[in-house]
Amino acid sequence: MAIPLMRTSPWIEVRNSKIHGKGVFAAKRIPKGTRIIEYIGERISHQEADDRYADHDPNDNHTFLFIVDRKTVIDGGRKANAARYINHSCDGNCESAIAERRVFIDAVRDIAKGEELGYDYEIGRDKNDPPNVDEIYACRCGSPKCRGTMLWPAKRPAQKKKAKAKKAKTKKAKKKVAAKRTKVAKKTKVAKKTKRVARRR
């Protein structure tokens, strides 16, 4: 049986975040393993995502594309829900998971009431990234483990190295793609690089 649509969630509330714009917070204690909410938005092709954001200001890290797989990208800017407000964190209390070609946000540890939710966007690097890409996606999540960037890998790979799959990390179906290059995530079955871009609202 298909997983029911999880457009809303009793576990969360959206309010202003110290990290970035709006954020999503635990409305009550959330036990580890809880499937909190589905990342909903218009489902489009990579090509459509590229076209849609072709004029996107490369210095703006604001968009909500999330790569599901090679065929599909979820545009959390349209027909979306609160999941798009969950901020990036280098050491988040949540992770994204793909099931039935849909994206869900799960708790990876117990989350106290009032705590802000976050997960690692692992925004993929791309050869077409602007020179200041590290600046654009600089991370200020405040975690002691903050790697300083929402990008993955954290360091710009040496010349043509293609992003190699990070083993552990890779399994998780992550992420969203910045408007710039959706293609990045060519990865394996589990779309790995997802980019999510921080929003400014």
- What is the smallest separation between the CB atom of 116 and Zn ion, expressed in angstroms? 13
Rounded CA separation 60/140 (Å): 16
In the complex with Zn ion, the residue whose CB is nearer, 120 or 129, is: 120
Residues that bind Zn ion (CB under 5 A): 90, 139, 141, 146
Q: Which residues of 132-149 are buried (b: 16+ CB within 10 A; e: fewer)?
A: ebbebbebebeeeeebeb
Adjacent-strand bridge partners of 138? 149
Other C-beta atoms closer than 10 Å to the C-beta of 159 total 6
Indicate the helix (H) or strand (E) that contains 105.
strand 102-107
- What is the smallest separation between the CB atom of 109 and Zn ion, expressed in angstroms? 17
In the complex with Zn ion, the residue whose CB is nearer, 53 or 121, is: 121
Q: How many residues does the chain have?
A: 201
In the complex with Zn ion, the residue whose CB is nearer, 24 or 90, is: 90
In the complex with Zn ion, the residue whose CB is nearer, 49 or 141, is: 141
- What is the smallest separation between the CB atom of 163 and Zn ion, expressed in angstroms? 19
Q: Quick one: tokens of 80?
A: 């979306």
In degrees and rounded to multiples of 5, residue 136 shows phi and psi of -60, -40
* Widest CA span in the chain: 47
In the complex with Zn ion, the residue whose CB is nearer, 112 or 146, is: 146
- What is the smallest separation between the CB atom of 97 and Zn ion, expressed in angstroms? 21
- What is the smallest separation between the CB atom of 89 and Zn ion, expressed in angstroms? 6
Q: DSSP label at 16?
A: E
Indicate the helix (H) or strand (E) that contains 81.
none
